[in-house]
Structures are given as structure tokens and as C-alpha cells.
Homo-oligomer: A and B are copies of this chain.
Amino acid sequence: MSFRHVTHFTVEFGDCDPAQIVFYPNFFRWCDAASRHFFVAAGVPLWSELEQTTGIIGTPLVDASARFLRPATYGDAIEVETMIDEWRGKSFVMKHTLRRAGEVLVEAQEIRIFARRHPEDSKRIQAVIAPDGIRRLCE
């Protein structure tokens, strides 16, 4: 059974668009934040600390997708349940289920890598195998 973490958000007025519903990129913003909260809850250090010890600067995405089942609007309390669904060497699949009062609003998936700056060109990033210590914390 995989480690799961729930992050709580409130939909704000400014998160909604003229159609009165959440502007959809904000759902990805919450998924990204939920990913970080998942790692913190699992005991993984902040990226800024990890950079000093492992060179890892974050977990940029290689793929993201979402199915939007129900709209949400401001005032809504949203729960994002996050888990790592699959480990694939240098990448891994995060699954986010966004609910309001138990009802699923959005099912999202992020495929991420552990990234460090490229040793020969600090402007580029490079995927690295998930460190064992981090992986154990998330399982």
C-alpha cells in the first residue's frame, strides 16, 4: 500500500474565470503544490536543502494530464489526494485525485523526473535515478 497524502486548498475568487468556474491551469497549480506537500509529508527534505546534498533541484514534469469531471467555484474547499502510482527508473507517476465534499472533481496525473543541473551547462537540467532514500520514504 503506497503512502498517500491529502493537501487542502480553498478556491479563491481570483482562481475563477468569467465563466465563474476555476480557470483550469489552477488545477495543475494545485497538483504541483500537492506534489511538494506529498514529499514534505513523506519526510523528503525541501529541494533547496536537497540541492546542497544531492544536487536535485526539483521534480520537473515530462508529462501532465487531467480529466475534468465537475467544475468548482470560489468558496469551495478542495482536497487533493496524492500518491506515487509507479516508479519508472528516472521518472515516476504521481496521481492526484481532487475532491470537494467527497465528490471527485478532477483526476490528474503527472510524470516527473528527479532533476539536477547539468554538470557541464548549468542552464540545462538532467534526469537522475530516484535516490533510494527518497523512494523508500514515498512507498
Given contacts A16-B18, A23-B14, contact A64 B65 (CB under 8 A): yes
22 contacts between A and B (CB under 8 A): A12-B36, A13-B17, A13-B23, A13-B33, A13-B47, A13-B58, A14-B32, A16-B17, A16-B18, A18-B47, A20-B123, A21-B60, A23-B29, A24-B28, A24-B60, A46-B75, A60-B71, A61-B68, A63-B65, A63-B66, A64-B68, A65-B65
| Copies of this protein, total | 4
Listed from nearest, the 6 A-B pairs whose CB atoms lie closest are A65-B65, A25-B28, A12-B33, A25-B25, A25-B29, A14-B23
Provide the bound-state CA to CA distance between A25 and B25, in Å.
5
**For chain A, what secondary structure do more than half of its interface residues adopt (helix, strand, loop), or is it mixed?**
mixed
Per the CB 8 Å criterion, the residue count for chain A at the interface is 41
Q: Mark A45-70, 1 if CB is under 8 A from B, else 0.
A: 01110000000011011111111100
A22 CB, min distance to chain B CBs, angstroms: 10
A23 CB, min distance to chain B CBs, angstroms: 5
